[in-house]
Amino acid sequence: MRKLVSGLFLLLSPWVGSAAAMAAPDDRAALWWSHVQILASDAYEGRGTGKPGYDKAADYVIGQLRALGLQPAGTDGYRQSVAFVEQVILADGSSARLVGPQGATPLSVPGDIIFSGSGGPVPEALDAPLVFAGYGLHLPEAGHDDFAGLDLKGKIVVVLSGGPSSISGALKSHARSERAGWLAKRGALGLIQLVTPRQVEIPWGRRTALSSQPALFFKDAALRDAATPFLTAQFDPAKSALLFAGSGHDFAQIAAAADQSAPVPSFALAQRLDARVATRRAELSSPNIIAVMPGTDRHLKKDYVVLSAHLDGYGIGTPIDGDAIYNGAIDNASGVASLLEIARALRQGKVKPKRSILFAFVTAEEKGLLGSTYFARRPTVPRKAMVADLNFDMALPIFPLTSVTPIGYDQSSLGQDAAAVSAQMNLPITPDPFPDRNVFIRSDQYSFIRRASPRCSSNMASRRTRRRRRWRRPGVPTSTIRRRTMRTSR
Ligand SMILES: [Zn+2]
């Protein structure tokens, strides 16, 4: 078991403070910490989706919700079961090579290229021409389209990290997230994602080590991004020049331009990718846990404010110092504990919310936001009645809370509320220092943003929190999603 991070419960005071003052702050911290300690203990085996440790964690959460008197709002009591297919890419039986006018270049799998098992079923074999599409951003509403004029049908599309600095990080992240589904609809067969050597965030060696991990996708094909088998891959940043051989373009030059956010061209590459992908598949299911606390206002109670946190973790994986359990105390027992203690505060406090509060403990976040996607697509309350989502992922109460970093803050009507609360608490708002790291789309708030079901959505804790950064609150991209104003009556 890894060391749990100790600290005080600080994050939620703006939400809890006005509603509840039933326990001294130290007691509230202790209650919160007790959930973290239990859920992150070895007995819960890191709460891997579909694994016994997750089911045990689900039982724990349901026990807490029942004790708090919250109503079940799943499809089977508190549970909303989600059916998945687990897909593992097998190194044995997989192969790839680049074929061009100069001959064939064999690639090691995984090594030079990593195939992704997420999204949907991977094609068993693929032999298709490559086309380079710059940053791979289709954002005509922002005056930018790397795919303009390219023939995508029957092609494998190669794209590069980064993008123009004139476009917000949130909007770029959104375009990247929609990309595979968008390309598949236009007849493309696959997508290879390149990262410039200077923009590497996760070392390539670690990526290849993780490439044998099982991926999940929805059993129900209607819920997948691509309706047909689609290959998604990543390429070793140190070897990306191989893809550009014979194209008349130099990868190093293109990468240097991308590092400056300068314009990058789109063009057909001189080579094809010839790949064979061996997989192992199995079906499994895992529940979201959903509870509701009805609002007190006759009219407003039909609105739901969703509070979400993912209950799953990485489960059991590659041992580190002999320990194979990825306990996930911070990511995200901390967020689950936050929701449970908010529920307690709202139940026991004097002020009762006028709107209904829906608590969503979702599964398979680490597998690609799948549990929250499922809930946002198949909600157990009317979709239009969900007026906001506040997501809690990775509360890190290990530094003094001195400022707030709202992600997508300028694109959501929740930004105004964040500003008002921050001002009241004397916590300055600071901009996201790494707008290209896709944080906007990297937790469950994004599932609600994609469906545009809530009028506002935000994430209350950062996946990459550092000193002086405490919360991240993504919002709705204005250009893609209807902008509505959240009514502010309590
Ligand atoms: Zn997380």
Query: What is the distance in A from the centroid of ligand 1 to the CA of 466?
Result: 15
Share of the chain above pLDDT 90, in %: 69
The answer on pLDDT for 8 being more than 60 is no
Query: What is the distance in A from the centroid of ligand 1 to the CA of 312?
Result: 8
Q: Per DSSP, which regions of 108-212 are E strands?
A: 113-115, 125-133, 138-139, 144-145, 156-160, 190-194
Query: What is the distance in A from the centroid of ligand 1 to the CA of 330?
Result: 8
DSSP H or E stretch at residue 58: helix 52-67
Tens-digit pLDDT profile for residues 382-420: 999 998 888 899 877 788 888 887 766 766 778 888 899
Q: Which residues pair with 193 in a beta bridge?
A: 159, 234
User: At 77, phi and psi to the nearest 5?
Assistant: 65, -130
Q: 129: cis peptide before it, omega within 30°?
A: no
Instruction: List the domain boundaries for the chain.
Output: 13-69+294-459, 85-281
Backbone φ/ψ region at 369: left (φ over 0), alpha (ψ -120 to 50), beta: left
pLDDT of residue 318: 82
| Strands 103-107 and 79-100, bridge-based pairing | antiparallel
Query: What is the distance in A from the centroid of ligand 1 to the CA of 75?
Result: 25
Name the architecture of domain 13-69+294-459.
3-Layer(aba) Sandwich (3.40)
**Residue 191 near residue 84, CB atoms below 8 Å:** no
Query: What is the distance in A from the centroid of ligand 1 to the CA of 460?
Result: 11
pLDDT of residue 42: 98
Query: What is the distance in A from the centroid of ligand 1 to the CA of 461?
Result: 9
Query: What is the distance in A from the centroid of ligand 1 to the CA of 3?
Result: 18
Query: What is the distance in A from the centroid of ligand 1 to the CA of 334?
Result: 9
Q: To the nearest whole number, what is the mean pLDDT of the chain?
A: 86
Q: What angle do CA 407, 410, 412 make, to 5 degrees?
A: 85
Q: 459: cis peptide before it, omega within 30°?
A: no
Q: Which residue type occupies 192?
A: I
Separation CA 349–CA 17 (nearest Å): 9
Query: What is the distance in A from the centroid of ligand 1 to the CA of 331?
Result: 5
Contacts of residue 238, defined as CB under 8 A and 6 or more positions apart, other chains included, come to 197, 204
Query: What is the distance in A from the centroid of ligand 1 to the CA of 365?
Result: 7
Contacts of residue 319, defined as CB under 8 A and 6 or more positions apart, other chains included, come to none
Q: Which two tokens stand for residue 476?
A: 């709705």
The three-state secondary structure class of 42 is helix
Helix pair 334-348, 25-39: axis angle to 10 deg: 140
Query: What is the distance in A from the centroid of ligand 1 to the CA of 444?
Result: 8
Burial class (CB in 10 A: 0-12, 13-18, 19+), 236: buried
Separation CA 359–CA 357 (nearest Å): 6
Query: What is the distance in A from the centroid of ligand 1 to the CA of 397?
Result: 15
pLDDT of residue 13: 29
Query: What is the distance in A from the centroid of ligand 1 to the CA of 136?
Result: 26
Burial class (CB in 10 A: 0-12, 13-18, 19+), 135: buried
Query: What is the distance in A from the centroid of ligand 1 to the CA of 355?
Result: 27
Tens-digit pLDDT profile for residues 46-59: 999 999 999 999 99
Query: What is the distance in A from the centroid of ligand 1 to the CA of 462?
Result: 9
The answer on pLDDT for 466 being more than 50 is no
Place of tokens 């990290």: 161
Query: What is the distance in A from the centroid of ligand 1 to the CA of 311?
Result: 9
Query: What is the distance in A from the centroid of ligand 1 to the CA of 480?
Result: 25
CATH class of 85-281: alpha beta
Q: Which residue type occupies 396?
A: L
pLDDT of residue 412: 74
Query: What is the distance in A from the centroid of ligand 1 to the CA of 350?
Result: 32
Query: What is the distance in A from the centroid of ligand 1 to the CA of 25?
Result: 25
Q: What is the pTM of this model?
A: 0.83
Query: What is the distance in A from the centroid of ligand 1 to the CA of 143?
Result: 33
Backbone φ/ψ region at 405: left (φ over 0), alpha (ψ -120 to 50), beta: beta
The three-state secondary structure class of 208 is helix
Query: What is the distance in A from the centroid of ligand 1 to the CA of 162?
Result: 23
Place of tokens 């992704």: 116
Query: What is the distance in A from the centroid of ligand 1 to the CA of 472?
Result: 13
Query: What is the distance in A from the centroid of ligand 1 to the CA of 411?
Result: 22
Least confident of 102-106, 125-129, 302-306, 409-413: 409-413
Query: What is the distance in A from the centroid of ligand 1 to the CA of 439?
Result: 11
